[in-house]
Amino acid sequence: MPDTVTMQLDAVQALAAQLTDLGAEVAVDGGTTRAEGTRLGQALTGPAADELAAAGAAWAGSVEVLANRAQVVATGLEQAIASYRALDGLLTQRMGAAPHAAVAR
């Protein structure tokens, strides 16, 4: 199996941008979910109120983790794109510099 990796950098960059936007939107939803869970818990009394508030907080925590993961993946993709583009630029310079110029491996 060959060791060559091929990717469309513009498509990966577009995916990273979409993940960044999604992460931001989901983070807002997490905050809203947390506030609504608290509000609903205050609307009741007793154990049901505590359970509802706890469920809202747990769900909000899950949503916030999802938002964070989307943003972490987007950052990783952006860093990979920057690295590939930097290496591509270096290879282009080296290949144009001299017929037998050293190439980074």
Domains in the chain: boundaries: 9-80
Strand boundaries in the chain, DSSP class E? none
Q: What is the mean pLDDT of the chain?
A: 87
- Give pLDDT tens digits for 12-32: 999 999 999 999 999 999 989
CA distances from 92 to 9, 60, 96, 98 (A): 16, 48, 6, 11
Q: Is the pTM of this model over 0.85?
A: no
